[in-house]
Amino acid sequence: MNLLQQVVNGIIIGHAYALVAVGWTMLLGAARLVNFGHGQMYMVGAFAAWWFMRMTGLPYPVAVVAAILVGALIGAVMQRLLMRLTLSRDLVSLMIVTLGFGQMLEGAAGLTFGPRPQTLASPFQSMTLHFGAIWFTVQDVILVVAAIVVFLALRLLLNATKFGTAVRMVAEDPALTRLAGIDIARVYMGIFAFEGAAVAFAATLVAPRTPILTSMGFDQVVTTFVVVVLGGIGSVAGSYVAGLSLGLFTALFGALVSPAYTTAAVFALLIAVMALRPGQLAASANFAR
């Protein structure tokens, strides 16, 4: 068994986890909102790209952009629906609404795209690169690079732009942000749209690896949740490191123990962390760092 290959796999998967989680971590850190529809939004992102390619015949990169736009739109729709609840900080109802929203997406996707597994065909998926004992695809490289770019860009956005500062203000104290003359509804809109766009983007890059089904997405919620918790809620750098670590963990676990029970193993890891560091689930003071 090629350990080095597993490490490479782990790094690749880790970047996938981090990228899938980045929108969620923003949403949770800035708006205290748990998006239970995250998995379904991932699924829709993948299918949107697939459907777009099928309908228009346009190449994969264009489909990726289209999926990102669809994702942002879904995020915006969510924000409109949830605005009143978000402003009244009724976090419990917000959570359940996202669960319902996820069901709606699943139903709509099933109706639109059908129950059969499909393949999101990226030309880069079949381009393999070999370096001695290890190999990976160009798709993997794109995934890793994209994840790094997104994280750096987000870090820059949050710390060096006006909108980023507004996001940090809203994350800390929405009421006070209003006094600073900022329309917090618009800030939330940006955050929600980012979540939609980011998860769709992640989906288009990761989905070409396996067949896609409209019933998929659940495992994504668990791994995303673990990444966010391990990394510290709302911490950008933390999510990246946590994603990477988790990727290595699942790759090695899958290779050394059992590939089928990785989700269970990830969950067990989460429990262990929670038991050892109960404060991990509190909102991090390192928001956006």
Binding residues (CB under 8 A) for other proteins: these are: 32, 34, 36, 81-82, 84-85, 88, 90-93, 95-97, 99-111, 115, 162, 165-166, 168-169, 171-173, 175-176, 178-184, 214, 218-219, 221-222, 225-226, 260-261, 263-264, 267, 270-271, 274-275, 278, 281, 285, 287
Pick between residue 3 and residue 91 the one whose CB is nearest to other proteins.
Answer: 91
Smallest distance from the beta carbon of 91 to other proteins, in angstroms? 6
Pick between residue 102 and residue 208 the one whose CB is nearest to other proteins.
Answer: 102
CB 35 within 8 A of CB 57: no
Smallest distance from the beta carbon of 141 to other proteins, in angstroms? 30
Cα separation, 149 vs 213, whole angstroms:
28
Residue with tokens 């991990």: 280
Pick between residue 106 and residue 195 the one whose CB is nearest to other proteins.
Answer: 106
Strand-pair partners of 134: 131
Cα separation, 5 vs 210, whole angstroms:
19
CB 191 within 8 A of CB 27: yes
Smallest distance from the beta carbon of 180 to other proteins, in angstroms? 4
Smallest distance from the beta carbon of 248 to other proteins, in angstroms? 20
Pick between residue 125 and residue 284 the one whose CB is nearest to other proteins.
Answer: 284
Instruction: Kindly report the number of other CB atoms within 10 A of residue 81's CB atom.
Output: 15
Tell me how far CA of residue 213 lies from CA of 45, 106, 269, in angstroms: 12, 10, 27
